[in-house]
Amino acid sequence: MNVHMGVEEEFHLLEVESGLLVPRAEHVLRRLPRRSFTAELHRCTVESNSGVHASLESLYTDLSHTRRRLDAAASSLGLAVVAAGTAPLAPAASGPPTADARYRRMAEEYRKVADEQVICSAQVHVDVPDRNTAVGVMCAISPWLPVLLALSASSPFWQGVDTGYASWRTLVWQRWPSAGPVGCYADAAEYDAAVDELVQAGIISDPGMIYFDVRPSAHLPTLELRICDACPRVETVVLVAGLFRALVTDACDHLGAGPAACNGHHEWLRGASWRAARSGLEGTLVDPETRREASAARVVRKLVTRLRPALEAHGDWQTVDALTRWALAEGSAARRIRHVAQEEDLLACVDVLIAETRGERRDRRTSAHSRKKTMHPTTGPAGASTTSGAPESIAR
């Protein structure tokens, strides 16, 4: 089976010594190719765009290489990059938006909602045959998307405070009037009409502002996942991409075989997303099949088992199974950095996030106050650099 996928990752730009965000994206972007890196709403954020891939192994290699290029460009300016839903020491707002007419309009219209979107996500695109299929698949897979959010959760801190959530980014993101679970539509025409209504009503300025958890791409024959936090470790991004591709292809194979997965009721989907944002992998999630709470590990394993035929068809089963076991053993990024904050402080969290984004590990015996980080890259098969403890099957 040859269904392609691609990933967009957003990164915070930080001043290394203070751990604070810096509005220098345009300076970093001047040192990078435009085809692979772009600006975002805020000047302290950079987005990378992967190539198109048929295998998780090639996606892993691409994402790792892209992160190294971005890190080198930032490092040359005395900066660092972090892939996480929020930066631990991020302020409530980051100043004027990127110098782009569309972004300026968004800042003027949405004011504080736009000002506080100092957040980063990871987005996955997967091939679909056509837009009608994409719209049908959206509804079929929506109940399982909170599980992917839980796997990616990496944003427990906001303005230097522990929010109690695993993904505070989700709560900030859902302030947009067009964010959250997507509805069910008969076909692409009905979906497009609904989007046009939002534009004509002045609620959003253009279709690009549709920030549903999943949406058909406006310019590519793909379905786009948007629910996830940015992930410090590349392995987590690859795990999410593999599961999302399997969800999409499994739904394509069974489209029209039964009633809508959410039965037209979306209130529980928003609740399930809230629960995933609150718990990450450390508490309970909503089981989409029973609509009752269950341990996060149990729901994750249920999803992976359910998708095994699709994963095997893509040649992804061994990799996804190994990455799932690793993710459940390690816990969410939110848990890891919260533990660092408890043992050390938030600057130590920044150290860990910088290291993991680079594909390195930080020696936790090193004091964050010294700001002298000891980083140790770990090497997988064939010289591939992987983060400490991650399975080696991905770096073949």
The 10s digit of each residue's pLDDT in 39-53 is: 998 999 999 999 999
383 band by pLDDT with thresholds 50, 70 and 90: very low
**Whole-number pLDDT of residue 381:** 28
Structure token digits, residue 30: 């001047």
Of the candidate ranges 117-121, 227-231, 384-388, the one whose mean pLDDT is the lowest: 384-388
392 band by pLDDT with thresholds 50, 70 and 90: low
Please tell me what DSSP assigns to residue 228. P
**Whole-number pLDDT of residue 90:** 84
Which residues make Cβ contacts (< 8 Å) with residue 248, sequence separation at least 6? Answer: 3, 126, 128, 137, 141, 223
CA 307 from centroid of its chain's CA atoms? 20
CATH number of the domain where residue 111 is located: 3.30.590.20
In this prediction, residues 320-343 reach a mean pLDDT of: 98
**Whole-number pLDDT of residue 262:** 59
Would 396 be classed as within a structural domain?
Answer: no
- Helix (H) / strand (E) element for 180: namely strand 179-180
**Whole-number pLDDT of residue 394:** 67
Higher pLDDT, 257 or 321: 321
Q: Is there a contact between 70 and 49 (Cβ–Cβ < 8 Å)?
A: no
In this prediction, residues 135-154 reach a mean pLDDT of: 97
Percent of the chain clearing pLDDT 70 (strictly above): 88
**Whole-number pLDDT of residue 169:** 98
Would 290 be classed as within a structural domain?
Answer: yes
Of the candidate ranges 105-119, 163-177, 185-199, 258-272, the one whose mean pLDDT is the lowest: 258-272
Structure token digits, residue 227: 């629910």
Structural domain count of the chain:
1
d(CA 6, CA 124): 6
CA 60 from centroid of its chain's CA atoms? 15
Would 97 be classed as within a structural domain?
Answer: yes
Q: pLDDT for 352-380, tens place per residue?
A: 999 999 998 765 434 444 344 433 333 33
**Whole-number pLDDT of residue 95:** 75
**Whole-number pLDDT of residue 378:** 36
Bridge-based pairing of strands 211-212 and 179-180 is parallel
In this prediction, residues 80-103 reach a mean pLDDT of: 88
Does this model's pTM top 0.85?
yes
Q: What average pLDDT does the chain have? A: 90
259 band by pLDDT with thresholds 50, 70 and 90: low
Per DSSP (E only), the strands in the chain are 5-15, 37-39, 45-49, 79-82, 122-127, 157-158, 161-162, 179-180, 211-212, 214-216, 222-225, 284-287, 292-295, 360-362, 375-379, 385-386
Higher pLDDT, 191 or 396: 191
In this prediction, residues 312-335 reach a mean pLDDT of: 98
In this prediction, residues 85-90 reach a mean pLDDT of: 94
**Structural domain boundaries enclosing 383:** 5-390
**Whole-number pLDDT of residue 257:** 65
At 384, is the secondary structure helix, strand, or coil? coil
Structure token digits, residue 340: 């660092």
Q: Which residue has the tokens 């050390």?
A: 344
Would 395 be classed as within a structural domain?
Answer: no
DSSP 84-98: SSS-TT--S--SSBP
